[in-house]
C-alpha cells in the first residue's frame, strides 16, 4: 500500500519525477565513468609500476682530447690519432648525495673471470702465441724479419714453422741476432708490409707482431696501477741455459697460460638487480627457463645464478644444478662483452698476470644454483651487449672486496659498468637535485621504457576521471538537496494529512521516501550501467593497447623498441558501487530532510498550513 500510493503520487508529477530520475541517472553516469576511469588508471599505474623500471647509467665523460702517435713500421712514419682525455677518476660516491632516492644504489661493477675447465678444448689461437724463435739473419725487426719457430709454448703454430716478425709499433727496435733463441708473445697483425729492400716475402704469409703479454695490468681497489718492473723492460727475452728456472723464465711460463685462461674463462657479472644490466633491461636476453633472481636473493646474497642456454648446453647443466665458479680476476674497465663478445671473438686489453708475474689465483670459489637459463635474442650494441657465456650472480654473493688483489683492469665509470635504479617517474626530480651538486664530467642517462610519457598520459586521464567524479558528486548532492526539498520539505501538507489520518512518523517517512528512493535507484542503476558501458567502449576504442617507446625520449633517440601494455577492463562492481553510493547518499539526504520535517507535531504543521 505504501509503495503503491508513494509511487502513484510520484508519478502524478511526471515532469518533476522524470527530471529527478534523469538527473540522478546523469550523476550516476559521471560517477561510474569517473570512478571506472580513475580505477583503470590507478590499476594501470600499479601494473605499469611492476612492468617498468627506471635505471640510470653513469659515464665519466672526456674533459678534452689529445693526439696520440703510433709508429708504423710499414709506413716508416708515425701515425696520429685523436683520443679523449679524461680527468681524475670520479668515484661513485659522488652519486650518494642528499635527496637521492635510489631503489638500487649506483655501483661501478667489475665483472669477474671464472675458470671453467670444461669450457674449451681446442688447438689454440693465432694470437697470444708464446714461442721460442730464432732469426734467420741478424737484423733489427723494423720489417718482416724471418724467424724459425723452435718451440711452441702456446698457440696455433708448429715447431720449425717460419714466421715473419716485426716490432711494428716500436720506432727504435733492438737487433735480433741470428742463431740466438728468443721467447716472445706474438699476435697476427694482418698482411706483410715487406722488407725495406723491397723483396717480397711469400705471398699470403702473414706477419706477427711482438705483444706485451709479459706485462701485468694489475690495479688496486682505488684504481692505482700496481708497479711491475716488467712494464719498463723489453717484451721478449733471450733463452739461455737455465732460463726457465729464473724469475723471468717463470713469468714467461705464466704468459704461456694466457690463451688457456682466455679460453676457459666465463665472465661472471655480480649485480644488485638483473634489470640493471642493459641486455636484460632491453629484453635482448630473456629468461627462457626457470626464473629471475629474486629481490630477496639479491639482498641476501644467495648463491644463485642465471646462465645462458649455450653455456648450459656446453656444460650439460640444467635448472637446479650447481655451477662452481672459481673467480680469479676482477675487471672494472670493461664490460664482459668487451672481452668475451657475444658475437664471437673478442679482445684482451688486460693481462692475466699479476704484478708478480703470476696468473691470478682464485679469490673466491662457490657453488651457485642455476635458477634461470636465458636465451640471447640480440647480442646488443657495443659494451651494452651481453657477454659470451656471461653468468649473473647477486652482488652480495661474493664477499665485498675479496677481489682487491685480483684486479686485472680498472678505468673510469662507464655506462655499461655503472648503473642504478630510481623509482619510476622521478627522473626530473633526481636530475634537479643532481644538477645542484655541481659535478661536471659525469653523464647520467636514464632509461624508463617510456614510463614518463605514459605516466603523463595516465595522470591526464586521472585528472579527467577526477573531474568526472567530482562533478558527479557535486551534481548528485545538489540534485538530491534540491529534490529532497521539493519532494519532502515541500510536502508539508501531505505529511500533515498523513499524520492527521493516523500514520506514524515511520509510516509517514516510508510513504514519502519510497517513491524518491525507487526513482533514485532506477536512475542510479541505469546511469551507472551506462557509465560502465561508456568506459568499456572508450577503453576499447581508445587504447586498450598502449604502444610506447622504450627509451626516455628526452635523452635517448636511438636503439629504441616498441612495447605493448594492456589497460585493465572497467570493473562492473565499481560501477555498481558508485550507483550504490549514490543511492545511499539519496537515502541519507532524504532521511535527514524527512526527519527535519517530522520534527513538527501535526498540530503545529496544520497550524502553519492554516496560516498560509
What residues make contact with other proteins under the rule CB under 8 A?
1, 5, 8-9, 12-13, 493-494, 496-497, 499-504, 601-603, 606, 609-610
Which is closer to other proteins, CB of 509 or CB of 528?
509
Q: Find where cell 605493448 sits.
A: 564
CB of 10 to other proteins, least distance (A): 8
User: What one-character-per-residue DSSP string does 193-249 give?
Assistant: ---TT-----TTPEEEEEE-TTS---B-TTSPBPP-GGGGS-SEEE--TTGGGSHHH
Which is closer to other proteins, CB of 415 or CB of 602?
602
Phi, psi of 7 (to 5 degrees): -65, -40
**Residue 186 near residue 208, CB atoms below 8 Å:** yes
**Residue 209 near residue 185, CB atoms below 8 Å:** no
Q: Which run of H or of E encompasses 432?
A: helix 427-437
Distance from chain centroid for Cα 562: 15
Q: Within 10 Å of residue 497's Cβ, how many Cβ atoms?
A: 16
Task: Supply 284's cell numbers.
Answer: 635482448
Decide the pairing of beta strands 111-115 and 322-331. antiparallel
CB of 590 to other proteins, least distance (A): 18
CB of 22 to other proteins, least distance (A): 20
Task: Supply 493's cell numbers.
Answer: 501538507
CB of 9 to other proteins, least distance (A): 4
Which is closer to other proteins, CB of 396 or CB of 492?
492
Which is closer to other proteins, CB of 10 or CB of 104?
10
Which is closer to other proteins, CB of 505 or CB of 533?
505
CA-to-CA distance for 501 and 388, rounded, in angstroms? 94
User: Which of 523, 541, 519 shows the shortest CA–CA distance to 531?
Assistant: 523
User: Which of 578, 462, 422, 549 shows the shortest CA–CA distance to 44?
Assistant: 462
C-alpha pair distances (Å), 16 with each of 20, 524, 590? 6, 17, 16
User: What one-character-per-residue DSSP string does 440-460 give?
Assistant: -SEEEEEE-TTHHHHHHHHHH
Which is closer to other proteins, CB of 518 or CB of 556?
518
Distance from chain centroid for Cα 102: 14
CA-to-CA distance for 188 and 210, rounded, in angstroms? 9
Which is closer to other proteins, CB of 139 or CB of 606?
606
Which is closer to other proteins, CB of 422 or CB of 516?
516
Contacts of 357 (CB under 8 A, 6+ apart): 214, 216, 228, 230, 247, 250, 251, 254
CB of 497 to other proteins, least distance (A): 5
Which is closer to other proteins, CB of 46 or CB of 504?
504
Contacts of 14 (CB under 8 A, 6+ apart): none
Which is closer to other proteins, CB of 392 or CB of 517?
517
CB of 610 to other proteins, least distance (A): 6
CA-to-CA distance for 275 and 379, rounded, in angstroms? 16
Q: Which run of H or of E encompasses 566?
A: strand 562-566
Which is closer to other proteins, CB of 122 or CB of 502?
502
CB of 15 to other proteins, least distance (A): 13
CB of 514 to other proteins, least distance (A): 14
Q: Find where cell 706477419 sits.
A: 207
User: What one-character-per-residue DSSP string does 133-198 give?
Assistant: EEESS-EESSS-EEEEEEEEEESS--TT-EEEEE-TT-SSPPEEPTT--EEEEEEEEEE----TT-
Report the alpha-carbon angle 471-475-477, nearest 5.
120
CB of 487 to other proteins, least distance (A): 11
CA-to-CA distance for 126 and 115, rounded, in angstroms? 21
CB of 48 to other proteins, least distance (A): 56
CB of 609 to other proteins, least distance (A): 7
Which is closer to other proteins, CB of 19 or CB of 201?
19
Which is closer to other proteins, CB of 13 or CB of 381?
13
CB of 516 to other proteins, least distance (A): 14
CB of 483 to other proteins, least distance (A): 16
Amino acid at each position: 500500500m505504501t509503495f503503491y500510493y508513494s509511487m502513484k503520487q510520484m508519478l502524478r508529477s511526471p515532469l518533476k519525477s522524470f527530471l529527478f530520475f534523469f538527473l540522478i541517472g546523469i550523476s550516476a553516469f559521471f560517477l561510474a565513468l569517473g570512478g571506472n576511469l580513475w580505477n583503470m588508471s590507478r590499476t594501470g599505474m600499479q601494473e605499469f609500476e611492476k612492468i617498468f623500471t627506471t635505471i640510470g647509467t653513469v659515464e665519466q665523460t672526456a674533459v678534452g682530447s689529445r693526439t696520440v702517435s703510433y709508429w708504423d713500421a710499414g709506413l716508416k712514419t708515425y701515425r696520429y690519432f685523436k683520443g679523449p682525455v679524461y680527468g681524475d677518476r670520479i668515484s661513485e660516491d659522488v652519486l650518494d648525495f642528499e635527496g637521492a632516492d635510489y631503489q638500487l644504489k649506483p655501483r661501478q661493477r667489475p665483472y669477474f673471470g671464472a675458470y671453467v675447465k670444461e669450457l674449451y678444448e681446442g688447438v689454440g689461437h693465432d694470437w697470444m702465441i708464446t714461442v721460442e724463435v730464432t732469426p734467420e739473419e741478424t737484423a733489427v725487426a723494423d720489417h718482416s724479419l724471418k724467424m724459425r719457430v723452435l718451440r711452441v709454448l702456446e698457440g696455433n703454430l708448429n715447431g720449425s714453422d717460419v714466421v715473419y716478425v716485426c716490432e711494428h709499433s716500436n720506432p727504435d727496435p733492438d737487433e735480433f741476432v741470428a742463431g740466438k733463441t728468443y721467447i716472445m708473445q706474438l699476435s697476427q697483425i694482418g698482411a706483410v708490409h715487406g722488407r725495406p729492400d723491397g723483396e717480397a716475402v711469400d705471398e699470403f704469409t702473414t706477419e706477427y707482431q711482438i705483444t706485451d703479454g709479459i706485462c701485468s695490468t694489475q690495479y688496486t681497489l682505488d684504481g692505482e696501477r700496481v708497479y711491475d718492473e716488467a712494464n719498463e723492460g723489453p717484451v721478449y727475452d733471450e733463452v739461455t741455459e737455465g732460463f726457465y728456472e729464473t724469475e723471468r723464465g717463470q713469468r714467461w711460463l705464466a704468459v704461456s697460460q694466457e690463451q688457456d685462461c682466455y679460453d676457459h674463462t666465463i665472465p661472471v657479472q655480480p649485480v644488485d638487480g638483473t634489470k640493471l644490466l642493459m641486455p636484460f633491461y632491453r629484453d635482448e636476453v630473456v629468461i627462457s627457463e626457470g626464473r629471475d633472481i629474486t629481490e630477496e636473493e639479491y639482498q641476501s646474497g644467495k648463491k644463485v645464478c642465471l646462465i645462458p642456454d649455450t653455456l648450459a648446453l656446453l656444460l650439460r647443466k640444467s635448472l637446479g644444478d650447481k655451477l662452481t665458479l672459481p673467480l680469479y680476476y676482477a675487471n672494472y674497465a670493461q664490460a664482459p662483452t668487451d672481452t668475451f663478445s657475444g658475437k664471437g671473438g673478442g679482445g684482451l686489453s688486460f693481462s692475466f698476470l699479476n704484478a708478480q708475474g703470476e696468473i691470478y689465483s682464485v679469490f673466491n670459489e662457490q657453488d651457485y644454483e642455476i635458477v634461470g637459463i636465458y636465451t640471447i635474442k640480440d647480442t646488443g650494441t657495443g659494451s651494452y651487449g651481453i657477454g659470451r657465456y656471461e653468468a649473473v650472480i647477486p652482488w652480495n654473493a661474493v664477499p665485498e672486496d675479496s677481489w682487491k688483489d685480483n684486479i686485472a683492469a680498472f678505468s673510469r665509470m662507464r655506462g655499461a659498468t655503472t648503473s642504478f635504479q630510481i623509482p619510476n617517474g622521478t627522473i626530473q626530480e633526481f636530475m634537479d637535485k643532481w644538477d645542484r651538486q655541481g659535478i661536471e664530467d659525469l653523464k647520467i642517462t636514464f632509461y624508463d621504457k617510456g614510463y614518463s610519457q605514459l605516466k603523463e598520459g595516465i595522470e591526464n586521464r586521472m585528472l579527467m576521471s577526477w573531474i568526472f567524479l567530482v562533478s558527479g558528486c557535486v551534481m548528485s548532492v545538489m540534485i538530491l538537496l534540491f529534490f529532497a526539498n521539493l519532494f519532502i520539505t515541500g510536502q508539508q501538507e501531505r505529511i500533515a494529512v498523513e499524520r492527521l489520518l493516523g500514520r506514524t512518523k515511520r509510516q509517514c517517512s516510508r510513504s514519502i521516501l519510497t517513491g524518491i528512493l525507487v526513482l533514485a535507484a532506477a536512475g542510479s542503476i541505469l546511469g551507472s550501467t551506462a557509465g560502465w558501458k561508456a568506459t568499456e567502449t572508450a577503453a576499447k576504442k581508445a587504447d586498450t593497447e598502449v604502444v610506447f617507446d622504450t627509451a626516455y625520449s628526452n635523452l635517448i633517440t636511438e636503439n629504441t623498441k616498441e612495447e605493448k601494455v594492456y589497460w585493465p577492463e572497467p570493473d562492473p562492481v565499481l560501477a555498481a558501487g558508485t550507483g550504490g553510493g549514490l543511492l545511499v547518499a539519496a537515502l541519507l539526504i532524504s532521511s535527514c530532510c524527512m526527519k527535519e520535517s517530522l520534527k513538527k507535531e501535526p498540530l503545529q504543521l496544520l497550524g502553519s498550513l492554516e496560516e498560509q
